[in-house]
Amino acid sequence: MRQERGRHAIKTGRKKVVAKVSLLFSTLFLLVLFSALTLRSFWISQKQLTVYVTPPLRARVEKAVNLFQHTHPQFTVTLVELPVPDGQAAWASGHSGSESNRAAGSQSGGSLNLSRPGGQPATQSEGATALVVDYLQPGQDPEKEKIIFYDYQLLVVPFLEPIPGLSRAEAVALLAQGGAVRSRPFLRPDELSRTPAWSARKVLTEEEYLRQGRLASDEVALLTWPNVNLGLKVLPIDGRYPWPHTIEQGTYPLSFPVTSTAFTNRGNWLASLLDRLLTPLSPPGAAAAFQEFLRGPKARGIFYPGREGFSLTAVGDLMLDRGVAAKIASQGLTYPLSLTAQRLAAADLTLANLESPLGVKGKPLPKKGIWFRAKPETVAILNQGGIDAVTLANNHILDYDTDNLLETMDLLSAYHISFTGAGKNLEEARRPLILKVKVPDTSTVGPDNQGQRASIIDSQTGTPSNGYLQVAFLGYSDFAEIFWSYQYPRTFSAGPNLPGVAPIKENYLREDIARARREADLVVVAFHWGQEYTNVPVKYQSDQRAVAHLAIDAGADLVLGFHPHAVQGLELYKGRLIAYSLGNFVMDQKSEITRESMILECWVDNSGIKTVNLVPTMIEECRPRVLEGQEGLPLLEKFQRISQGLK
């Protein structure tokens, strides 16, 4: 009996040991299996990514995905389109499901439940990582959200249409007509409901404009930068012009921030805990790598096409003597450009005509009648006013003869103001001034991301370099070969060993522009020409239009005219711009025609001048003031009227 009980105890003990061993092995097996599944889930989340994108952003994000896959073959990315909201009401609470998606994304283990177009469910599978690329929704704090890039919309009308610009409310009214508001969070529904209609213009989408190939005077188009050209006028919104850098900085009123939210659906708390423990120990997963890529230089080129350029501004005659000198004496050196200096300095490159020489040397040319010579210290006005380069090829730069011309050139050089059109001999006067301008660093975004002030390089050795675009600036005078006294027949024209300016001669233009074309990305030619106090180019010393066309045919990208003391028309010739006269800019003349002025603002990329903004300006008490909004409308209408005869 006792023996029987012993055997039973042994058998029971064995069973318990077997049970414990089985339980241990089962537990280990389940642990290994769970760990393997968790690791597999983690591996999937690291290697596979589903990107959900709202439709207006799809084309650009798809390009970014394709480029990312090409450079990161270890990851697999799937693109899924979010549904389009049904009208503006959806924006009040966010995209259909987008707000809940973001909320879910803020918690590890959240679930993503979206609807594909057509209502079919697209539930995020367990273990995979999702990235939602969508607009910043109303009510979201832009300071807390990470902005990937800014979407934008440009409103364009035909070139020279007399429209000063629009308010944001007026712009949104047009966007609503074009259907763009349905897919972008331009305004909340309550704002849209009280937005007045701007006009009865027909609104074309980008696709309609490209199909039509032109824009009528009663039409406005919604475009992006790649399809902007010189035949179109891009409208400022709330006084902000949509240069590529203002779009990228988000300061243009129709710039719309786009955010991304990444998260993974782990399914249970333990998997989520392991995810938190494993993530810091592993290389960046697909979501993190893609988000980093979206903020990098390659993606920026997709989101902001045309940003690799610079802004070029041109203004008219700067005369710093006579009545202007009296104003400087009473108001200080900053007075002449005090109202425009900030605008001119904001451009990467600003050009002008220096109508008066500087200094104290020289004697007035006999019998000339009008002599200008500003005090040496006035050179600081140019430097402080944002002027980078001037043409000296005009009918006043030698008013006080050779010594004063040489003094003027020395003063300009000392203050780092570059010049063209004059020199110590004819070769120097004809030599193109080469300016290089740094284009934006595509790896950065910020207030300083638009380029830098132009710097001069040796035109004989200057060659294009990475990260720079080069501008050639040439100047010629139609009055170079005139003299006023037979006793002292000194012309302004430079000679082989005589300081002076470059005269307008056909063979000079062809040779000099061809040379400049070889050395620079953009060729700008300045002419001092025309009849004074007239708003239209006429045959005077030379035929202005014939000379301008010759310059374009020879390779110039932009022709700038000076001397008439009045604005003249603008012409587009073979896709290039001719401004026959920019008028005065700093001047003491009193009549209405001599006080009307303009600022010509251009965006330049490696294809040439992309677009132009014509800024109406009025000279008051010798200094220019920009005419804002409706105040500038009459002058814009005049620009259009005097240009129509040049077609």
**What CATH number is given to the structural domain containing 62?**
3.40.190.10
- Going from the C-alpha of 336 to that of each of 275, 340, 632, the distances in angstroms are 65, 9, 21
497 by DSSP, 3-state: which?
coil
pLDDT value for 446: 36
Instruction: Judge if 555 and 474 occupy the same domain.
Output: yes
* Residue 192 contacts residue 168 (beta carbons within 8 Å): no
Instruction: Judge if 589 and 490 occupy the same domain.
Output: yes
Instruction: Judge if 489 and 579 occupy the same domain.
Output: yes
Instruction: Judge if 432 and 325 occupy the same domain.
Output: yes
Instruction: Judge if 528 and 550 occupy the same domain.
Output: yes
* Residue 180 contacts residue 199 (beta carbons within 8 Å): no
* Residue 208 contacts residue 215 (beta carbons within 8 Å): no
475 by DSSP, 3-state: which?
strand
- pLDDT digits over 253-269, tens only? 998 899 988 776 555 55
Confidence band of 450 (pLDDT split at 50, 70, 90): very low
- What is the dihedral angle through the alpha carbons of 592, 316, 410, 407, rounded to the nearest 10 degrees? -30
Domain boundary among 283, 303, 323: 303
Instruction: Judge if 606 and 503 occupy the same domain.
Output: yes
403 compared with 95, residue with greater pLDDT: 403
Is residue 289 pLDDT above 90, yes or no? no
Instruction: Judge if 539 and 607 occupy the same domain.
Output: yes
402 compared with 457, residue with greater pLDDT: 402
pLDDT value for 15: 66
The whole-number average pLDDT for the span 50-73 is 91
Residue 95 backbone phi and psi in degrees, to 5:
-55, 155
Cα angle value 479/571/518 (rounded, 5°):
70
Q: Give the pair of three-digit tokens for residue 420.
A: 């063209």
The model carries a pTM of 0.84
pLDDT value for 281: 45
Burial group, residue 451, by CB count within 10 angstroms (0-12, 13-18, 19+)? buried
- Of the chain, the percentage scoring pLDDT greater than 70 comes to 74
In a domain, 163, yes or no: yes
380 compared with 464, residue with greater pLDDT: 380
Q: Which of 616, 613, 612, 607 is nearest to 637 (CA)?
A: 616
In a domain, 337, yes or no: yes
- Domain residues for the domain of 236 are 154-253
In a domain, 638, yes or no: yes
Q: Tell me, what DSSP letter sits at residue 229?
A: -
Q: Determine the Cα–Cα distance for residues 275 and 266; give it in Å rounded to an integer.
A: 8
The whole-number average pLDDT for the span 346-367 is 97
Instruction: Judge if 383 and 441 occupy the same domain.
Output: yes
Instruction: Judge if 272 and 388 occupy the same domain.
Output: no
Q: List the CATH number of the domain containing 606.
A: 3.60.21.10
pLDDT value for 271: 53
Is residue 41 pLDDT above 60, yes or no? no
Confidence band of 320 (pLDDT split at 50, 70, 90): very high
pLDDT value for 144: 64
Beta strands in 224-309 (DSSP E): 232-234, 255-264
Q: Determine the Cα–Cα distance for residues 445 and 294; give it in Å rounded to an integer.
A: 13
Instruction: Judge if 220 and 293 occupy the same domain.
Output: no
In a domain, 222, yes or no: yes
Domain boundary among 253, 287, 319: 253
In a domain, 18, yes or no: no
Q: Is the dihedral of CA 551, 553, 559, 562 positive or negative?
A: positive
Cα angle value 234/383/476 (rounded, 5°):
70
Alpha helices in 94-216 (DSSP H): 98-105, 168-177, 189-193, 206-212
Q: Is the dihedral of CA 439, 442, 443, 445 positive or negative?
A: positive
Cα angle value 396/397/400 (rounded, 5°):
90
List beta partners, residue 313: 350, 601
Domain boundary among 303, 322, 337: 303
Instruction: Judge if 169 and 145 occupy the same domain.
Output: no
- pLDDT digits over 70-122, tens only? 998 988 888 988 875 443 333 322 333 333 333 333 333 334 444 333 333 34
pLDDT value for 262: 77
Mean pLDDT over each residue of the chain, to the nearest integer: 83
Q: Which residues contact 324 (CB under 8 A, 6 or more apart)?
A: 336, 374, 586, 587, 588, 622
Is residue 358 pLDDT above 50, yes or no? yes
Residue positions counted in the chain: 647
Number of H helices, E strands in the chain: 20, 28
pLDDT value for 198: 58
Q: Which of 134, 167, 326 is nearest to 238 (CA)?
A: 167
Report how many domains make up the chain.
3
pLDDT value for 48: 79
Confidence band of 287 (pLDDT split at 50, 70, 90): confident
- pLDDT digits over 212-269, tens only? 999 998 899 999 898 999 999 999 999 899 988 889 888 999 988 999 887 765 555 5
* Residue 48 contacts residue 286 (beta carbons within 8 Å): yes
pLDDT value for 622: 98
The β-bridge relationship of strands 232-234 and 154-158 is antiparallel
Instruction: Judge if 269 and 378 occupy the same domain.
Output: no
- Going from the C-alpha of 117 to that of each of 65, 86, 555, 563, the distances in angstroms are 21, 12, 52, 63
- Of the chain, the percentage scoring pLDDT greater than 90 comes to 56
pLDDT value for 28: 64
How many CB atoms lie under 10 A from the CB of residue 520?
24
pLDDT value for 188: 60
The whole-number average pLDDT for the span 5-29 is 64
In a domain, 481, yes or no: yes
Q: Which of 41-45, 63-67, 78-82, 189-193 has the largest mean confidence?
A: 63-67
628 compared with 136, residue with greater pLDDT: 628
In a domain, 41, yes or no: no
In a domain, 31, yes or no: no
